[in-house]
């Protein structure tokens, strides 16, 4: 398993290319709107990215809630629950382009910042606030006199949309350039802040802001994919917790909502006491 875990970066890059395979979009500035766009991808991948071939589940969810007559988002919710149960935050660790972007930024050699534990614990709740407030409540209730609402997380917050959609579309389409004021500048400022923070802190967007990570995290303790520790073999050395960039301790809480299933702890364990396993499988029963 350890060899397989070493290939995570390859999987991240390949998946980013597969889900952004509409290469001609980069030349024409036109968004792909073919049949594949009816399907969601598991991770954050802005619908407005000229190269995107699928839809972002978070944007799709908000579009149901912000419709003039809000509809029950059966398809998107069903998709999110299915992915949450089957993969959980494995999506964050392996299948999210913005997760990869943050990891690459963190590799820039600068002094790193450790957020004090008490502050970190409070900030991590932020992603649930973004999920409930900006993805669900505001699109449902904040409407103009015509009854029109917006996907407010996309509109006001999402740095992924700015990076993948907003910036390339404005560069490639001269007609969109008059839109570069007020809100666009605000979104650029958020992207700049998240980018700067990602150089200093490992995956700050995933830890503190991402509503999709918050949603998938809800399924970690009941989902199929589990991190399993063999108690008889574990010496309690703590190497796993020291190697976890998400500050999870796999000994205390192997199915933490913060674990992105990156496998760094599995690779770091000198006793091979950790492994990924399916819930209820033989490996799990051995503990
Ligand atoms: S690194 Fe391995 S042996 Fe050490 S505490 Fe973690 S699981 Fe146990
Ligand atoms: S607990 Fe292990 S798999 Fe989970 S985020 Fe930390 S290092 Fe990665």
25-63 pLDDT tens trace: 888 888 888 899 899 999 998 888 888 999 999 999 998
Q: Domain 225-285 belongs to what topology?
A: Alpha-Beta Plaits (3.30.70)
Is there an atom of ligand 1 within 6 Å of 287 CB?
Answer: no
Cα–Cα distance between 166 and 190 in angstroms, integer? Answer: 13
pLDDT higher than threshold 70 for residue 287: no
Higher pLDDT, 75 or 287: 75
Position in ligand 1 atom list of the atom nearest CA 230: 7
pLDDT more than 70, % of the chain: 97
Domain segments of the chain as ranges: 2-217, 225-285
194-247 pLDDT tens trace: 999 999 999 999 999 999 999 999 999 999 999 999 999 999 999 999 999 999
Ligand 2 environment, Cβ below 6 A: 227, 243-244, 246, 248, 250, 259-265
User: Per mean pLDDT, which of 97-101, 168-172, 181-185 is the most reliable?
Assistant: 97-101
pTM exceeds 0.85, yes or no: yes
CA of residue 201 to ligand 1 center, whole Å: 24
Q: Whose CA is nearest to atom 8 of ligand 2?
A: 262
Is there an atom of ligand 1 within 6 Å of 230 CB?
Answer: no
CB atoms within 10 A of CB 23: 11
pLDDT higher than threshold 50 for residue 284: no
Is there an atom of ligand 1 within 6 Å of 85 CB?
Answer: no
Q: Nearest bound ligand to CA 99?
A: 2
Cα–Cα distance between 228 and 216 in angstroms, integer? Answer: 19
pLDDT more than 90, % of the chain: 73
Q: Whose CA is nearest to atom 5 of ligand 2?
A: 259
């Amino acid at each position: 398993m350890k060899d397989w875990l070493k290939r995570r970066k390859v999987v991240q890059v390949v998946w980013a290319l597969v889900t952004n395979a509409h290469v001609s979009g980069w030349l024409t500035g036109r968004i792909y709107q073919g049949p594949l766009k009816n399907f969601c991808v598991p991770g954050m991948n802005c619908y407005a990215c000229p190269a995107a071939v699928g839809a972002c589940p978070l944007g799709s969810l908000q579009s149901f809630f912000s419709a003039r007559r809000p509809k029950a988002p059966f398809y998107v919710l069903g998709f999110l629950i299915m992915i949450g149960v089957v993969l959980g935050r494995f999506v964050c660790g392996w299948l999210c382009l913005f997760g990869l972007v943050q990891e690459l930024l963190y590799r820039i050699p600068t002094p790193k910042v450790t957020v004090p534990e008490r502050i970190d614990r409070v900030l991590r709740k932020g992603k649930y606030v973004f999920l409930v407030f900006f993805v669900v409540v505001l699109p449902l209730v904040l409407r103009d006199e015509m009854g029109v609402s917006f996907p407010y997380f996309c509109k006001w917050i999402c740095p992924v949309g700015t990076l993948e959609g907003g910036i390339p579309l404005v560069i490639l389409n001269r007609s969109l350039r008059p839109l570069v004021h007020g809100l666009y500048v605000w979104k650029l400022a958020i992207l700049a802040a998240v980018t700067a923070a990602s150089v200093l802190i490992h995956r700050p967007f995933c830890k503190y802001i991402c509503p999709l990570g918050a949603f998938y995290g809800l399924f970690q303790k009941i989902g199929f994919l589990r991190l399993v520790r063999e108690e008889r073999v574990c010496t309690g050395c703590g190497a796993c917790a020291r190697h976890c960039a998400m500050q999870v301790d796999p000994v205390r809480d192997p199915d933490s909502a913060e674990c992105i299933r990156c496998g760094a702890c599995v690779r770091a364990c000198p006793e091979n006491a950790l492994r990924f396993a399916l819930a209820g499988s033989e490996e799990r029963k051995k503990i």
